[in-house]
């Protein structure tokens, strides 16, 4: 496994982070609208878990494409940082949240020693990122206050959201990339 990051890899991962940072930033508005709609129905805790998926995407996207140890965590942390630069309601915590989300994804790929890059490792990363971010929300968003039944509901909601965005969509994006052959022609530089 190659661990040295070349200038091009760094710029590549940072640009992916800029794209996703912008998407994250735009998604925050959707999140607030969804939360506002769910609030009068008394379902606002679900807004947090149902909408988490898009925020988790930069990590698996970077990891699954660059296929290198640390890519998920760096990609997701940078994307969080960029979101903060655009101006965000979570401020500096974006960086911390990004690092934690990236770590969650990274664990999933690390379980397989960064050797498997298929549905299995991607599924594992979806599960680990859900567990890690849920654990973080127990602390940060006061989830410990909620009843056990509500927590189970929230966990399942979060798992579905991350499976769709950090799993299925990442998988299909990667398929498009594989089909186009851009990474095989550039393989010597990007994946080496």
Partner 1 sequence: MNSGVKFVFILIVSIELTFILNACINFIVAIVAAIYLMLSRLTWQRYLLLVLMPILPVLGAWTSFSTYGTHNMAIVMATRIVAYIYLGAAFSFTTNMVDLLNTLEQKWHLPTTFVYGLRGALTFVPRVKQEIKTIHIAALMRGEHLSFYSPQLFFKAILVSLQWSTRLSTAMVSHGFTENAPRTHFQSIIIQKRDWLIAISLLVILQLMIAYL
Interface ranges with partner 1 (CB under 8 A): 5-12, 14-19, 22-23, 26-27, 32, 35-36, 39-40, 42, 44-45, 47, 54, 57, 61, 65, 78, 82, 84-85, 87-96, 139-142, 145-147, 150, 165, 169, 172-173, 175-177, 180, 182-183, 186, 189-190
Question: Minimum distance between the CB of residue 5 and partner 1, rounded to whole angstroms?
Answer: 6
Q: Tell me, what DSSP letter sits at residue 67?
A: -
Report DSSP state, residue 6.
P
Question: CA 77, 75, 5: angle at the middle one, nearest 5?
Answer: 115
Phi and psi dihedrals of 162, rounded to 5? -75, -30
The least distance separating partner 1 from the CB of residue 82, rounded to whole angstroms, comes to 8
Could you tell me the smallest distance in angstroms from the CB atom of residue 191 to partner 1?
Answer: 12
What is d(CA 167, CA 36) in angstroms, rounded to the nearest whole number?
Answer: 27
Which residue in the block uniquely carries the two structure tokens 């994946």? 191
Q: Which is nearer to partner 1, 116 or 178 (CB)?
A: 178
Pick 11 or 113: Cβ nearer partner 1 = 11
CA distance 141 to 27: 19
| Least gap, CB of 184 to partner 1 (angstroms) | 12
């Amino acid at each position: 496994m190659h661990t040295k990051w070349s200038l091009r890899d760094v710029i590549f991962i940072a640009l992916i982070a800029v794209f996703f940072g912008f998407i994250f930033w735009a998604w925050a508005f959707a999140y607030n609208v969804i939360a506002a709609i769910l609030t009068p129905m008394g379902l606002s805790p679900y807004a947090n878990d149902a909408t988490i998926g898009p925020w988790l995407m930069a990590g698996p996207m970077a990891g699954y494409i660059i296929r290198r140890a640390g890519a998920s965590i760096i990609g997701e942390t940078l994307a969080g940082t960029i979101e903060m630069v655009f101006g965000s309601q979570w401020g500096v915590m974006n960086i911390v949240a990004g690092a934690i989300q990236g770590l969650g994804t990274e664990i999933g790929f690390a379980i397989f020693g960064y050797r498997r890059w298929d549905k299995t490792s991607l599924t594992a990363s979806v599960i680990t990122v859900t567990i890690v971010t849920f654990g973080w929300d127990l602390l940060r968003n006061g989830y410990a206050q909620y009843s056990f039944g509500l927590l189970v509901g929230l966990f399942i909601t979060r798992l579905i959201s991350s499976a769709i965005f950090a799993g299925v969509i990442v998988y299909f994006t990667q398929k498009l990339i594989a089909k186009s052959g851009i990474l095989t022609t550039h393989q010597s530089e990007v994946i080496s």
